[in-house]
């Protein structure tokens, strides 16, 4: 056998082996089923912020299973009522597209779901459904290779991730001094940054609360202020923020409706306090508009809202080119991995108790705190699962499983 014949033979054998490996990989990674459930978890005490009071929270939960038995999970907040809309979008619109597909083709599956959802909604419940399915697929793929999700995504950090303690809600009878004691308690836990709610009360009352908070935590702790879309016009927002400025806020969060980007930009131009927003925005194009307008200097992109892990990564990369930081909103269990894998991400938002972010009651493992940061899970994928007994106790309906037959009916 001459050299060229032998070389062609070796190439043929290598190609055949590669094809066999690829075919085997696709077989085991094919999505066999998607299961979805809505859980409603009541708050022990009705809790208020600037624009509404919350009595319960609805969470949409999904499990994506492949033919090799590996399962990934996804989840989102569906609202304080009618959270089952997210589950319906999973069950009736998006899950049927995934059955029989290769879970390793994450980008292709994202595009497929996005195109299918164009008419039903490029934001809100439908994009949240897409987000949690995308998250579950990433989680499944990381679990299949037995890597923590942050390593699978390309670890930028290891060990611990910076976090801020989120709280400071309005409760009946809660005085400014009680608020200060709450935030000082977070500092005693080791946190170097804390967040409180603003915007519900009048100017003088709000200033009393912020003053009490700053006096309780001292001058060196970062103090974030969250207005939850409190203000309707620029002059009102400016009056409040001017009162806040002497207390050195690290940011003012969501001062206006998320659709009012012009006033976000105007406020950002008129105060030294950085404007942070984006927690209920969806899609890279909307965030690009925000960046081009300089409507925010900190993006609070939520992977369970914006389009999943896939879209979060695109948004973060775009923000990096503008020199803008990412500080994702909510779900520390998910966002610890994304902050750990994103160079321009600064903080995870952490809820020290299970009262407000009561999703904590639905999972089987909690994050640990170390020196003001959160310790990364080293188990595969997200590093935790649903507590199925807890989910059952809060479920609005049993888990609904979509397999090959269900997908075929949906497509018929």
Token pair recorded at residue 149: 């999700």
Active site residue 226: yes
The predicted pLDDT at position 6 comes to 53
In the set 71, 134, 254, 302, the catalytic residue is: 302
The encoded tokens of residue 323 equal 């020199």
Q: Which two tokens stand for residue 286?
A: 């909307």
pLDDT digits (tens, 9 = 90+) for 75-119: 999 998 889 999 999 999 999 999 999 999 999 999 999 999 999
3-class DSSP assignment, residue 375? strand
CATH number, domain 30-147+388-411 = 3.30.390.10
Label the pairing between strands 71-79 and 160-166.
unpaired
List 58, 139, 226, 281, catalytic entry:
226
Is 279 noted as a catalytic residue in this protein? yes
Q: Which of 264, 325, 329, 332 is catalytic?
A: 329
DSSP string, 51-92: TEEEEEEEEEEEEEEETTS-EEEEEEEEESS-THHHHHHIII
pLDDT at 18 (0 to 100): 40
Q: Identify the CA nearest to 154 among candidates 308, 304, 313.
A: 313
Is residue 311 exposed (0-12), middle (13-18) or buried (19+ Cβ within 10 Å)? buried
Report how far residue 385's alpha carbon sits from residue 333's, in angstroms, rounded to the nearest whole number.
10
> Among all chains, which residue has been given the structure tokens 């075919």?
23
pLDDT value of residue 27: 67
The residue extents of the domains of the chain are 30-147+388-411, 150-375
pLDDT of residue 5: 55
CB of 264 within 8 A of CB of 275? Answer: yes
- Whole-angstrom CA distances from 303 to 50, 79, 173, 385 are 24, 16, 35, 18
Q: Active site includes 302?
A: yes
pLDDT < 50: residue spans in the chain: 3-4, 7, 10-11, 14, 16-18, 20-23
Inter-CA distances, 221 with 132, 160, 187, 371, Å:
34, 19, 8, 14
Could you tell me the CATH superfamily of domain 150-375?
Answer: Enolase-like C-terminal domain (3.20.20.120)
Inter-CA distances, 367 with 113, 160, 173, 298, 376, Å: 31, 11, 31, 25, 8
Q: What is the pLDDT of residues 194-249, one digit of tens each?
A: 999 999 999 999 999 999 999 999 999 999 999 999 999 999 999 999 999 999 99
329 is catalytic: yes
Examine the residue annotation and report whether 353 is marked as an active-site residue of this protein: no
Q: How many CB atoms lie within 10 A of CB 9?
A: 11
Q: Is 288 annotated as catalytic?
A: no
**Which of 71, 139, 279, 349 is an active site residue?**
279
Number of CB atoms found within 10 A of residue 38's CB = 24
Token digits of residue 36: 């979805």
Catalytic residue, from 197, 264, 332, 377: name it: 197
Extended beta strands in 122-167, E state: 160-166
Predicted pLDDT at 335: 98
* Kind plus residue range of the DSSP H or E element containing 318: helix 308-321
| Among 102, 182, 207, 253, the one annotated catalytic | 253
């Amino acid at each position: 056998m001459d050299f060229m014949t032998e070389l062609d033979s070796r190439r043929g054998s290598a190609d055949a082996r590669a094809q066999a490996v690829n075919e085997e990989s696709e077989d085991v990674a094919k999505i066999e089923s998607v299961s979805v459930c809505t859980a409603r978890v009541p708050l022990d005490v009705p809790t208020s912020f600037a624009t509404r009071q919350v009595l319960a929270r609805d969470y949409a939960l999904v499990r994506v299973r492949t033919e090799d038995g590996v399962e990934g999970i996804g989840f989102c907040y569906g609202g304080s009522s009618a959270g089952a809309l997210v589950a319906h979008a999973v069950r009736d619109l998006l899950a049927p597209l995934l059955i029989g597909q290769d879970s390793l083709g994450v980008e292709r599956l994202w595009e497929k779901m996005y195109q299918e959802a164009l008419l039903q909604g490029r934001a809100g419940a439908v994009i949240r459904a897409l987000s949690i399915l995308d998250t579950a697929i990433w989680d499944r793929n990381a679990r299949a290779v037995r890597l923590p999700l942050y390593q699978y995504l390309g670890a930028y950090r290891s060990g611990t991730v910076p976090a801020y303690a989120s709280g400071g809600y309005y409760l009946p009878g809660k005085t400014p001094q009680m608020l200060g004691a709450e935030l000082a308690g977070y500092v005693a836990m080791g946190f170097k940054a804390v967040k409180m709610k603003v915007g519900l009360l009048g100017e003088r009352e709000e200033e009393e609360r912020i003053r009490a908070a700053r006096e309780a935590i001292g001058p060196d702790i970062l103090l974030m202020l969250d207005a939850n879309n409190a203000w309707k016009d620029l002059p009102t927002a400016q009056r409040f923020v001017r009162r806040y400025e002497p207390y050195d806020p690290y940011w003012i969060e969501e001062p206006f409706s998320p659709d009012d980007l012009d006033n976000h930009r105007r406020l950002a131009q008129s105060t030294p306090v950085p404007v942070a927003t984006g927690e209920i925005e969806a899609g890279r194009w909307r965030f690009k508009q925000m960046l081009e307008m300089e409507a925010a200097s900190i993006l609070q992109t939520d992977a369970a809202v914006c389009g999943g892990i896939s879209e979060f990564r695109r948004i973060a990369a775009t923000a990096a080119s503008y020199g803008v930081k990412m500080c994702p909103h909510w779900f520390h269990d998910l966002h610890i991995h994304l902050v750990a894998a994103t160079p321009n991400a600064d903080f995870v938002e952490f809820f020290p108790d299970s009262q407000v972010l009561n999703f904590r009651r639905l999972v089987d493992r909690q994050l640990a705190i170390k020196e003001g940061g959160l310790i990364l899970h080293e188990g595969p994928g997200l590093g935790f699962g649903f507590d199925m007994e807890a989910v059952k106790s809060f479920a609005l309906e049993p888990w609904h499983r979509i397999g090959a037959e269900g997908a075929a009916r949906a497509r018929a």
